[in-house]
Amino acid sequence: MAETKEKSLSDEKPKPRVRPIVRLGIFLISHSFHFSVVCCTAGVLALFLLPVLAKNTYISENALMPGSASPMLSNQHVSDGNRLVKDLTNPNSKSSETGIESHKIIAQYMLDLGAEVSFHKFHPQMNQFHPLHFFSSPDSGKIQENYSCSSYGINTVGIIRAPHGDGKEAIVLVTPYNALKSGFGEALSLGIAYSVFSLLTQVTWLAKDIIWLVADSQYGEYAAVAAWLREYQTPKFSSLSTPNAEMCPDVNNLFELKGHSISGSKFSNSFRRAGTMASALVLKVRDQNEQFEDTISIYAEASNGQMPNLDLINVVNYLAVHRQGLRVNVEKLWSLLNSSWLKSLGEIFESLAKVAKSLYPKWKFGIPATEYVEGTATLASSLYYQALGVPTGPHGAFRDYQVDAITLEISPKFSLDKVWRNDILLRGGRLIEGVIRSVNNLLEKFHQSFFLYLLTSPSKFVSVGVYMIAFALLIAPLPMVAASLYVDANSSSNCSKGDSSTPSAITDTDEHSIAIRSWRWLNSAKLVFIVHLWGAIVSLLPYFISQIPDCSPTTSFMIWVLLSILSLLTLNSVLASPLACAKATQEKEWALVKSVTISSVFIGLGLMSVINFATAEIGALLMVPMCLLAQPLKLDVRAGTLRSFCRMICNLVLGHIAFPPAAFFLLKGMLDGFGNANVGDFWMWVESLWAWNSATYLFIGMVQLPCWVLCISILFHTC
């Protein structure tokens, strides 16, 4: 046939056509340097562009209807609230040293409204390091041996049953209150909550039950709320022989008072429940305030950077700004507000936007420079608190049970006259009423709006689709560079070998050598694996160190460092010192190590971005340049060009910055000043991270630290 004829005709090798996608890949790998420079710059630039790209918030769930009903909270309820504030701040009520009197007062007030009241006693639980408890759902808590009658807290819980409701859902209102040393602010927050509560006992529109939790904050606000939630969601039915709070005389005293109450059936000392929690509001009033306006601060970050649904923040923001005339704040990094470089960056963006607008009037993306600076400061704090993974208030306890919650902190302009107090009670109460009414309208749980977002102002947000771009651009070069390094290392050794051997020898040794060469990366993978294993050991060490009694943070930290170094050396020697043997076998070994390191960093960052985006973003900012730039210092010294000198400087600087403790002290110094930096601070910080089950701790221990060690080992590689 014709084909056979063709075949016989052809004897020269035709150039095979490569598929476009493969060609693109090869192109990117071969130009990985330019590609990585472009991508990293674009990634950082995109991060700085986020405040410009932020969208205005809007209420996504139609059922919320905030502000559509006129507030029903009247002066009658405000005077009720005022009565409670007066009774609580009355010096007589503080006579008791345990503060039980004020709990009785609150309970009596609740009972008078016709609410169901119960006390919840709890023992504060020490935060402990459970190495395997990251990501696990909260359990019913460890039983502590040394309960004593002196250390317990009492939460007072009042429940209003919705008259027409079926009791399937509930809204929780939390006011932290420390009976022992309560400021005026705490009493005022109770007053606001009480005025709302007294209104809600009379309204007919309630569809969900209302739970008012007065959390005893003498052992911390979070601990009290978490203890109550634990009892609510995962109660223990069996009690062991540990002495119960019931046996303590004080508590019995507490219940005796209620015996003669006229509507005795409303009070019970057993734990009372309502249905599934729809959402929770934590209300606080700050004592001191320097501002000239009534402001309200919203705290939303829960553990591991989880946020409540954006709609909840929107409702609060809308009602506070448009109905009650309060100024709404979210956390900012104040130190960024005065930075001149940010201001000039903002001006550049502003002028660029002007140019763009003059070109085409529909391009309106510019924001004023001052707004940009504020947006960046808010964004930075939003990123910081999410990355930290530590909740910013008692609302964090609710998020562990998938309940949307925020903390509202009202900071009124302070004066002591009665008119002002009534005003803040009225406005605060109406705000809370409006939010509760909106949530009450909700038929389904919060699901319409975003859960993954960063705030740049109370009314502006960056959604996940936008902020992922910056991160994706940052980590996009990693696989490319890893591939190009791998190809380089393979081909260079291939060339050197090919040159040395005769062409005829290629044919028989080819398969064997290719097989060996293609598996050579396993050697470096082993090294990377060992370092990561070491990272895991290092992150487990604090568990044992924290068992040592009477250890100051500084000594603990020192022990930790020593043990870490020791374990690294041990691992290194036990597992046949891979660093030394690598050098013997291959001079291009460092490139392979770098390639595998970069791949592992890519995987680590990718995983972390799913768990806690902000941590991954900040980690990527530190680690991506370090990984990409890492090259043996010897080579740079040998080269002696300006470029290699620059690279060497960069490497040295990054090598210092990216070390986790160094990064911590740098950040702390930037925020609070370097004056009071202490070595033990890092230990305390780490302690707080694991106490809150923050995934950031795992990230630092198992991704960042090994990466840093590997980069350092590449820097000091003897090739």
Which range of residues in 258-266, 466-474, 517-525, 584-592 is near another protein by CB under 8 A?
A: 258-266
Rounded least distance, CB 562 to another protein, Å: 40
Strands 276-285 and 404-411: parallel
CB of 446 to another protein, least distance (A): 9
116: nearest Cα among 158, 155, 162: 158
Alpha-carbon gap, residue 674 to 548, rounded angstroms:
30
273 binds another protein (CB under 8 A): yes
What the block records as the tokens of 508 is 């028989």
* Contact pattern for another protein over residues 443 through 482, marking x by CB under 8 A: xxx-x-----------------------------------
Identify which range of 164-172, 211-219, 345-353, 503-511 contacts another protein by CB under 8 A. Answer: 164-172
* Shortest distance (Å) from residue 649 CB to another protein: 35
| Binding of another protein by 17 (CB under 8 A) | yes
- Does the protein bind another protein through residue 617 (CB under 8 A)? no
Answer for the pair 629, 654: CB distance below 8 angstroms, yes or no.
Answer: yes
Size of the site for another protein (CB under 8 A): 53
| Helix H or strand E segment including 352 | helix 340-359
Nearer to another protein by C-beta: 284 or 395?
A: 395
According to CB under 8 A, which residues from 350 to 389 bind another protein? 355, 358-360
Alpha helix positions (H), 16-63: 20-30, 32-53
Residue 276 sits in the site that holds another protein (CB under 8 A): yes
Give the binding range for another protein (CB under 8 A) out of 10-18, 409-417, 602-610, 659-667.
10-18
Angstrom distance (rounded) from CA 691 to CA 683: 12
- Contacting another protein (CB under 8 A), which of 22, 132, 262, 574? 262
Q: Rounded CA gap, 599 and 478, in Å?
A: 7
- Contact status: 237 vs another protein (CB under 8 A): yes
d(CA 171, CA 441): 11
**Which residues have a Cβ under 8 Å from the Cβ of 181 and sit 6 or more positions away?**
none
Which 311-340 positions form the footprint of another protein (CB under 8 A)?
none
By CB under 8 A, name the one of 67, 165, 220, 680 that touches another protein: 165
For the record, the structure tokens of 9 come out as: 């005709």
Tell me: does residue 341 bind another protein (CB under 8 A): no
Place of tokens 């932020």: 54
User: Do 719 and 635 contact (CB within 8 A), yes or no?
Assistant: yes
Q: 528, 582, 566, 521: which is closest to 717 by C-alpha?
A: 582
> Which string of x and - marks every residue 124-163 that binds another protein (by CB under 8 A)?
-------------xx----------------------x-x
Q: Does 231 bind another protein (CB under 8 A)?
A: no
Question: By CB under 8 A, is residue 292 in contact with another protein?
Answer: no
Token digits of residue 37: 């420079």
Q: Does 275 bind another protein (CB under 8 A)?
A: yes
Q: Which of 25, 114, 124, 141 binds another protein (CB under 8 A)?
A: 114
Single out the residue of 331, 333, 302, 297 nearest to residue 316, CA to CA.
297
Piece in contact with another protein (CB under 8 A), picked from 37-45, 167-175, 506-514, 531-539: 167-175
Answer whether 312's CB lies under 8 Å from 359's CB: no
Residue 12 to residue 582: CA distance in whole angstroms: 43
Report the nearest approach of another protein to the CB of residue 198 (Å). 9
The yes or no reply on residue 265 touching another protein (CB under 8 A) is yes
Work out whether strand 460-463 and strand 55-56 pair parallel, antiparallel, or are unpaired: antiparallel
Q: Write each residue from 389 to 418 as x if it is in contact with another protein (CB under 8 A), else as -, in one continuous string.
A: -----------xxx----------------
| Contact of 458 with 298, CB cutoff 8 Å | yes
Selected from 204, 340, 504, 585, the binder of another protein by CB under 8 A is: 204
Q: Which range binds another protein by CB under 8 A, 166-174, 289-297, 467-475, 506-514?
A: 166-174
393 close to 282: Cβ distance less than 8 angstroms: yes
Cα–Cα distance measured from residue 306 to residue 614, given in angstroms and rounded to the nearest whole number: 10
CA 265 to chain centre: 44
Distance CA 360, CA 354 (A): 10
Smallest distance, another protein to C-beta of residue 370, A: 26
Interface of this chain with another protein, residues 19 to 78, rule: CB under 8 A: 76
CB of 606 to another protein, least distance (A): 21
Spell out the SS3 assignment of 208-238: CEEEEEEEEHHHCHHHHHHHHHHHHHCCCCC
Is residue 164 near another protein by the rule CB under 8 A? yes
Q: Which two tokens stand for residue 615?
A: 């941590």
Min dist. Cβ of residue 22 to another protein (A): 13
Contacting range for another protein; rule: CB under 8 A; set: 5-13, 467-475, 493-501, 609-617: 5-13
Instruction: Please give the torsion angle defined by the CA atoms of residues 621, 623, 628 and 632, in that order, rounded to the nearest 10 degrees.
Output: 140
Q: Which of 270, 340, 500, 504 binds another protein (CB under 8 A)?
A: 270
Strand partners, 378: none
Return residues touching another protein (CB under 8 A).
Answer: 2-3, 6-7, 9-10, 12, 14-17, 76, 80, 112, 114, 137-138, 161, 163-169, 202, 204, 233-235, 237-239, 262-266, 270, 273, 275-276, 355, 358-360, 400-402, 443-445, 447
